[in-house]
Amino acid sequence: MRGKVFFIAGVFVFLCLLSSGYLVKAEEETPELIYVFDIDVKPSMAAEYEAAQKEMIAIYPKYGWPYTSYAYSTDDFHYYFVYPVKDMADIEKAWQTWYGIVEKIGAAKWGELAKRSGKTYKYERAATYRHRPDMSYIPKKPRLKAEEAPYTYWGMCYVIPGMEKEVEEHFKKIAEIFAKHNADSGWETWVGETGTDMPCYIYVETGKNAGDFWSHSDKIMQKFGDEVMPLWRKTQALFRKYEYKTGMFRPDLSFTPEK
């Protein structure tokens, strides 16, 4: 999905990441639901933003923050923090836990850190996305392990209302083509729910770096792109808007609580 719009791996989200190193860099089973924070950081203050986030992450263990978060930064200076959750009630529980931690930290200390961080970005927003394994393709023997593929591509497909069924069927057929050829690279698909410009689907692909990602995309298209591209063009005709983002998984800004 780029200029000639290569659909190297089947079909929107985020915001990260999941199994096999896609949206969420996790070794465990891909979560069904993710809660994603999108922070639009001022380019001139990216270093200050990251410094504040690292300081905040350092606080988590001290106060027993129990939730895992996976961080990504994109080329247009957006930072995404992805939280695997069970359901909406789990999100509410996480917020209550966070309010308790802020109270323990103290208004003065927390206020200073929040103020310093707040100066570095334009806005923040949250959304939830649900995993669609039936619209994804996970190779049995992927060419790269999760830790070998930090480079991430998000394809954001904003569908014409009422065309969801047709789009989903096309995605499934493309997945079947990849499976038929036993492709060694795949993708994860997510459907936007709360906080998103619905209806939207996001597919997530990864690679070692930009060069590796696009060169392998070309190889796949050379093998069976003549089967994929006609179907992808039909799918595109059902979009009211298409966008993409590229970036990197950021383990230095991610957090995994000790069990």
> The CATH number of the domain where 90 resides is what?
3.30.70.100
| Cα 124 from Cα 146, distance rounded (Å) | 28
**Selected residue with higher pLDDT from 144 and 1:** 144
Is 129 within 8 Å of 13 (Cβ atoms)?
yes
Helix and strand element counts for the chain (H, E) = 5, 8
- In this structure, is residue 257 part of a structural domain? no
Question: Tens digit of pLDDT for each residue in 16-41?
Answer: 333 333 344 434 456 799 999 999 99
Predicted confidence (pLDDT) at residue 13 exceeds the cutoff of 50: no
How remote is the C-alpha of 81 from its chain's centroid?
9
Contact (CB, 8 A) for 203 and 189: yes
The answer to whether 200 and 158 are in contact (CB under 8 A) is yes
Residue 2 lies in a domain: no
> Cα separation of 259 and 254, whole Å?
16
Query: Is 45 inside any structural domain?
Result: yes
Q: CA 125 to CA 129: how far, in whole Å?
A: 13
DSSP state, residue 95 = H
Q: Which H/E stretch holds residue 207?
A: strand 200-207
pLDDT band at 107 (very low <50, low <70, confident <90, very high): confident
Mean pLDDT (the chain, rounded): 87
Q: Is 117 helix (H, G, I), strand (E, B) or coil?
A: helix
Residue 145 near residue 21, CB atoms below 8 Å: yes
Q: How many CB atoms lie within 10 A of CB 35?
A: 24
Q: What is the pTM of this model?
A: 0.83
Per-residue pLDDT reduced to its tens digit, 173-210: 999 999 999 999 999 999 999 999 999 999 999 999 99
Give domain status of residue 44, yes or no: yes
Confirm whether 5 is domain-assigned.
Answer: no
In this prediction, residues 150-155 reach a mean pLDDT of 96
Mean pLDDT, residues 208-215? 96
pLDDT at 139 over 90: yes
Let me know if residue 24 belongs to a domain. no
Percent above pLDDT 90 for the chain: 71
Percent of the chain with pLDDT over 70: 88
For residue 22, being part of any structural domain is answered with no
- Position 30 scores a pLDDT of 63
- What integer pLDDT is reported at residue 50 of this predicted model? 96
Residue 75 near residue 247, CB atoms below 8 Å: yes
- Name the residue range of residue 134's domain: 33-248
Domain count, the chain: 1
In a domain, 4, yes or no: no
